[in-house]
Amino acid sequence: MDCIHRIPSIMKKTITAFLILFSLAGFSQVESKDEYCIRREKVLAMMDSSSALVMKAVNSSSQLDYYKQNPGFYYLTGINSPSNYILMSPKGINIGKEVKTTIIFYSRIDNVRDLCLSVNDTLIDSKEFKTIFISILPGVNKLYYSAPDIGISVDWLNDKAHFLDKNMKNILKESYPELKKIESADIIIGKLRAIKSEQEIALIRKATDITSDGLLAALKTAKPGFYEYELQAAIEYEFTRQGAMQKGFSSIVGSGNNSTIIHYSKNNRKTENGDLVVMDVGAEYYGYSSDITRTIPISGKFSAAQKEIYQMVLKVQKDCILKVKPGISLIELEKFAYNEFKKLGYEKYYTHGLSHPVGLQVHDVNAEPVLKPGMVITIEPGLYFDMNDLSAPEKYRGHGVRIEDIILVTENGCEILSAKVTKEINEIEKLMNRKK
Ligand SMILES: [Mn+2]
């Protein structure tokens, strides 16, 4: 079945009602409280009886002005503040006279006041974390953990990187001989995070609608002589105006030869007539990201050569989307895209991956290699001809094109969540040439 391009209006109404309801409630989380309870139960069901899981709430954002929770921790709790922990054990943890399978350790009681708790869950002050964690380790032979602040330290004298992570594992294993395996919590949680719930899909839809509106705003105002950051501002104004308080990643607005740079982020060049502009952006809405790329001619009209590149990329992009359905693997899709560009003789200029999952992170944990209903992925082929690459056809040099949509895998095929912002040449030109 082909991808659905429009959302049925009844579904739209339900989603809108849901979003209004939760934005009025003013929680840090927008998903219903039970959802976190259900997820924790699923995690416990996937764990061996003598295993335990421990996660720390730490900032996973590289931006200083914004706290982005360790996504695995957020997924199981909805708590968006630091210095909390979660400890889970299917066989139970003794606390006084009680036995609980999940303990959430809080740094401030306010952070956990609204939390859904089952009879098997409890809340304890995080001052107690160390004592309780150590007390369960002698009976654990597999530990799943997630502590993103354990990183790499560099020994500058010997120019060697030490993984603190690895050191910690060794110390734990030496101290607790029964502990045979220490693995990333993503092994379990990643499997669950791959398949989005209705509520998660509603949030990604909203993030995607906002991102689409941002791109449409840029498209309608763009003209030669604009700085790249002026287009970025038009996009991000729309994000903030619509309540997406953060971005999933730094906006990429690359004009002229900058359109050929994959992770361009300076966004400070003045555009010139004849430029293509690649805009790769994503609003984040209540923790969930979008990720859409559109490529436009700053003049409002594609040149003949630009049209050729654009049409090649668009055809491959659409053909890839037609293949998106349960059962196909991401690797198969990658190979298909590569071969399509190879047939055209331009595989050398297709220099990045085709697809990645999207969710709490813009590059979400990749735990399901074969597509299943409920997964959300990007499809984003591109061709990049650097101006200095003398092996590239002269007419293409200095132009890059990437087209990226957000796709929901459905039972029979897929739905393009980012269909609101057009990728058709004539429609882009029409929107750009409306009276400004
Ligand atoms: Mn992407």
Per DSSP, the residues of 354-422 read S--B-SSSSS-----SB--TT-EEEE--EEEE-TT-TTS-GGGTTEEEE-BEEEEE-SSSEEETTTTS-
Beta strands at 160-163 and 152-155: parallel, antiparallel or unpaired: antiparallel
- In the prediction, which pLDDT does 116 show? 85
- Ligand 1 mean position, distance from CA 321 (Å): 14
Q: Is the pLDDT of residue 13 over 70?
A: no
- Ligand 1 mean position, distance from CA 282 (Å): 9
Q: Is the pLDDT of residue 111 over 60?
A: yes
- Ligand 1 mean position, distance from CA 86 (Å): 31
Q: Which residue type sits at 227? A: Y
- Ligand 1 mean position, distance from CA 380 (Å): 7
- Ligand 1 mean position, distance from CA 54 (Å): 30
- Ligand 1 mean position, distance from CA 258 (Å): 17
- Ligand 1 mean position, distance from CA 229 (Å): 20
Q: What's the pLDDT tens digit per position in 361-414?
A: 999 988 899 999 999 999 999 999 999 999 999 999 999 999 999 999 999 999
- In the prediction, which pLDDT does 114 show? 82
- In the prediction, which pLDDT does 21 show? 44
- Ligand 1 mean position, distance from CA 406 (Å): 8
- Ligand 1 mean position, distance from CA 401 (Å): 14
Q: What's the pLDDT tens digit per position in 154-183?
A: 666 666 666 667 777 888 888 888 999 988
First to last CA, the chain: 40
Closest CA to 55 of 126, 138, 148, 121: 148
Q: What's the pLDDT tens digit per position in 236-251?
A: 999 999 999 999 999 9
* DSSP-derived secondary structure letter, 200: H
- Ligand 1 mean position, distance from CA 404 (Å): 7
Per DSSP, the residues of 398-414 read TEEEE-BEEEEE-SSSE
Q: Is the pLDDT of residue 6 over 50?
A: no
Q: What's the pLDDT tens digit per position in 342-358?
A: 999 999 999 999 999 99
- Ligand 1 mean position, distance from CA 342 (Å): 22
- Band of pLDDT at residue 22, cut at 50, 70 and 90: very low
Which domains, from first to last, does the chain contain? 32-192 (3.40.350.10), 197-432 (3.90.230.10)
- Band of pLDDT at residue 63, cut at 50, 70 and 90: low
- In the prediction, which pLDDT does 157 show? 66
Share of the chain above pLDDT 70, in %: 88
Model pTM? 0.89
- Ligand 1 mean position, distance from CA 403 (Å): 10
- Ligand 1 mean position, distance from CA 379 (Å): 8
- Ligand 1 mean position, distance from CA 242 (Å): 22
* DSSP-derived secondary structure letter, 68: -
Could you give the C-alpha distances from 299 to 183, 269, 392, in angstroms and in order?
Answer: 52, 16, 24
- Ligand 1 mean position, distance from CA 88 (Å): 33
Q: What's the pLDDT tens digit per position in 189-243?
A: 999 999 999 999 999 999 999 999 999 999 999 999 999 999 999 999 999 999 9
310-315: Cβ within 8 A, 24+ apart:
310/401, 310/403, 310/425, 311/425, 312/341, 312/344, 312/346, 312/383, 313/381, 313/382, 313/383, 313/401, 313/402, 313/403, 314/403, 314/423, 314/425, 315/340
Q: Are 414 and 321 in contact (CB under 8 A)?
A: yes
Q: What's the pLDDT tens digit per position in 269-296?
A: 999 999 999 999 999 999 999 999 999 9
